[in-house]
Homo-oligomer: A and B are copies of this chain.
Amino acid sequence: MSVTHDLEIKTMKAIIQRVTKASVTVGEDQISSIGRGLCVLLGISVEDTQKDVDYMVRKILNLRLFEDENGRAWSRSVMDKELEVLCVSQFTLQCILKGNKPDYHSAMPAELSQPFYNNMLEQMRETYKPELIKDGQFGAMMQVHIQNDGPVTIQLESPAAPTDPKLLSKQEKQQQRKEKTRSKGPSESSREKAALRSKADPSASSGAEGDVSSEREP
């Protein structure tokens, strides 16, 4: 019985690289560029909801990856320092390996993830400053030029239950408040996801799904 894949928790994933500069080219054209700040590669899963967006936007903008005016590391966020963010959609982060072959069925299909992603960018612009949030070209074959400064690279997953239990419970309370005041709340709570996560037993699966891979290209 292969049940693991059904139970497995799918969350939004982000790779955040602190950069001196970054840009995107499509063919010969540079379509986007930033100076100091963060380059975010963002993988949206089939199960992501507004709650995952809220978490990820908050974390990207508030993570303390920069030094303060006295050179003290891990003290300031991209917002604190008024730096830029280049955000590029990256479905390959939802990769599940079948042996050595990547499978991308966990990624939200492009026709759904494009509006989802645009909405997330919009939320990031509203939360910060619109002119400091840059973008790639959704679905295009891009070259993303990243000058990783340090290097400093952080992986994020929503919700942050396994690494940040304190925040999780705070987040749940916030969410519960939100759900009282509006009706379009997501269908499952972080706690339910966390419970599922702890139930998922990887060794119980035979991996019998075989070598079926999405043929989706970058």
Number of residues on chain A facing chain B (CB within 8 A):
70
Interface string of A72-83 (1 = CB under 8 A from B): 011001000000
The yes or no answer to A168 lying at the interface (CB within 8 A) is: yes
> How many copies of the shown chain assemble into the complex?
2
Query: Is A93's CB within 8 Å of the partner chain B?
Result: yes
Residue A181 lies at the interface, judged by CB distance under 8 Å to chain B: no
Q: A15-B153, A202-B161 are in contact. Are A148 and B148 (CB under 8 A)?
A: no
Interface string of A127-171 (1 = CB under 8 A from B): 000000000000001111111111111110000111111111100
Given contact pairs A147-B144, A203-B169, A213 touches B164 in the complex (Cβ within 8 A): no
Closest to A145 in B: B147
Contact between chains at A154 and B95 (CB < 8 Å): yes
Complex: how many Å from CA A77 to CA B101? Answer: 9
Question: Please, which residues of chain B bring their CB within 8 A of the CB of A147?
Answer: 143-146
Once A151-B90, A215-B73 are accepted as A-B contacts, the answer to whether A99 and B164 lie under 8 Å apart by CB is yes
With both beta carbons as reference points, the residue of chain B lying nearest to A149 in the complex is identified as B143
Given contacts A191-B203, A203-B165, whether A144 and B151 have CB atoms under 8 Å apart is yes
Indicate which residue in B74, B155, B197 contacts A213 across the interface (CB closer than 8 Å): B74
Across-interface contacts of A155 in B (CB, < 8 A): 13, 15, 93, 95, 155
C-alpha spacing A195/B92, complex, angstroms: 28
Q: Contact mask A193-210 → B, CB, 8 Å, 1/0?
A: 011011111111111000
- Give the CA-CA distance A205 to B164 in the complex, in Å: 9
If A144-B150, A146-B147 are given as contacts, then 20 extra A-B residue pairs at C-beta distance below 8 Å, sorted by A number, are A4-B165, A8-B163, A15-B15, A62-B100, A73-B218, A74-B215, A77-B100, A88-B151, A90-B153, A92-B154, A95-B163, A143-B147, A145-B148, A151-B218, A165-B204, A166-B206, A167-B207, A169-B203, A197-B202, A198-B202
A residues with CB within 8 A of B: 4, 8, 13, 15, 17, 20, 41, 59, 62-65, 73-74, 77, 88, 90, 92-93, 95-102, 141-155, 160-169, 191, 194-195, 197-207, 213, 215, 217-218
